[in-house]
Amino acid sequence: MFSERLKLARKRRGLSLRALSSAMGDIVSAQAIGKYERAEMKPISTVAIALAEALEVPLSYLLSPSRVSLEHVEFRKLASTRAKDRAAVESEVLDRVDRYLQVEEILGLDIMEQEGPDGAPYRINAVEEAERVATRVRKEWNLGGGPIPDITELLEERGIKVFKWRLPGSVDGLSCRVRRVRGDDVRVVVCSTGKSPERQRFTIAHELGHLVLDVPPTVQEEKACQRFAGAFLAPRDELIREVGRRRLNFGFEELIEIKHIFGISAAAMVIRMRDLGIVTEATVRNIFSGIGRGWRTEEPRPLERTESPTRFRRLCLRALAENEISVSKAAELLRLKVSKIEGIMAGTDALECR
């Protein structure tokens, strides 16, 4: 409804009620806008148009029904961020989920069954048990024992919405469930683009851990999800096959090649080998004080390709090609200008990930 869309768009822009009123040239007061958001009043058409212009959204966006609820969204990783930044991230997630569900509904995919994994979330009683859960999830999803080429695409194929943009402060990623007006909750993973490609992969695996692990208060959840991520991206048997069961030391080039095989950061690879007993704590210290000095803050020889979520944009272009939506609707869903959409369809312009 209009009230929810208005509040969502305002928070996504990071505007207070007073700031939005000012951006509209004070044609209505902040108090009036507050009443619009609480559904106590409805704006006249000229005011609705001014609101859309100030918020840089199409008027049709404000008038469209929302497919997600603004309630029951918790972002554990944003607890220490400013309220304004937290509200902006929450609103951005809800807006992206809403647009995603719109195009799925148009294409008849809104009832697509989410692929478990069956039995999730799985209860653990120790950090080390996250290893077992990672193995089980890989088995449920028929991933085999080898490296995962593209974890972003993997999660999208399993019905998990993956979004990427630069998050505020020191937040690398977050996960949540967004309540739908109708249907099952939507599982969401968000990853910040401010890190190297391999660290983004690890963040996504870590956030998947939050979705599939049932962690009691007696277990450190962050450590459990770190263990899950390492085990999910670098399975025990495959890693041992590559490096051996016990090692006293590593050279720089070998570690770089191993981290490229599994697509995780060099520092995370060292910690993963420590967790499996391949190297001792003393060896870890020697690596981080020697060839690995600075690896915790700067990634050595990062991956060349950054994974991007592509399913949403593919669905939008599919709906446009099949005449299920208009060019203007595609522009609204993808947050692009109509001329950009026309260029993309004609092959004279490229579509960037959003």
Distance CA 166, CA 191 (A): 8
Distance CA 238, CA 273 (A): 12
320 contact partners, CB below 8 Å, separation of at least 6: 326, 327, 329, 330, 341, 345
Provide the β-strand partners of residue 189: 162, 175
pLDDT (0 to 100) of residue 79:
75
CA dihedral 12, 16, 18, 23 (to 10 degrees): -30
For the chain, the three-class secondary structure string (H helix, E strand, C coil) is CHHHHHHHHHHHCCCCHHHHHHHCCCCCCHHHHHHHHCCCCCCCHHHHHHHHHHHCCCHHHHHCCCCECCCCCCCHHHCCCCHHHHHHHHHHHHHHHHHHHHHHHHCCCCCCCCCCCCCCCEECCCHHHHHHHHHHHHHHCCCCCCCCCCHHHHHHHCCCEEEECCCCCCCCEEEEEECECCCCCEEEEEECCCCCHHHHHHHHHHHHHHHHEECCCCCCHHHHHHHHHHHHHCCHHHHHHHHCCCCCCCCHHHHHHHHHHHCCCHHHHHHHHHHCCCCCHHHHHHHHHCCCCCCCCCCCCCCCCCCCCCHHHHHHHHHHHCCCCCHHHHHHHHCCCHHHHHHHHHCCCCCCCC
Q: Is 251 exposed, middle or buried (0-12, 13-18, 19+ CB in 10 A)?
A: exposed
Contact 162, 187 (CB under 8 A): no
Q: Which residue from 309, 319, 278, 286 is spatially nearest to 106, judged by alpha carbons?
A: 319
User: Judging by DSSP bridges, how do beta strands 173-178 and 213-214 pair with one another?
Assistant: unpaired
pLDDT (0 to 100) of residue 71:
47
Q: Is 300 exposed, middle or buried (0-12, 13-18, 19+ CB in 10 A)?
A: middle
Tokens of 25: 């040239």
- List the chain pLDDT tens, one digit each, 354 residues: 788 889 888 988 889 999 999 999 999 999 999 999 999 999 999 999 999 999 988 887 888 776 666 444 567 777 778 888 888 888 888 889 889 988 998 898 865 556 678 888 999 999 999 999 999 999 999 999 999 999 999 999 999 999 999 998 888 999 988 887 777 788 999 999 999 999 999 999 999 999 999 999 999 999 999 999 999 999 999 999 999 999 999 999 999 999 999 999 999 999 999 999 999 999 999 999 999 999 989 999 999 999 999 999 999 999 999 999 999 999 989 989 999 999 999 998 877 655
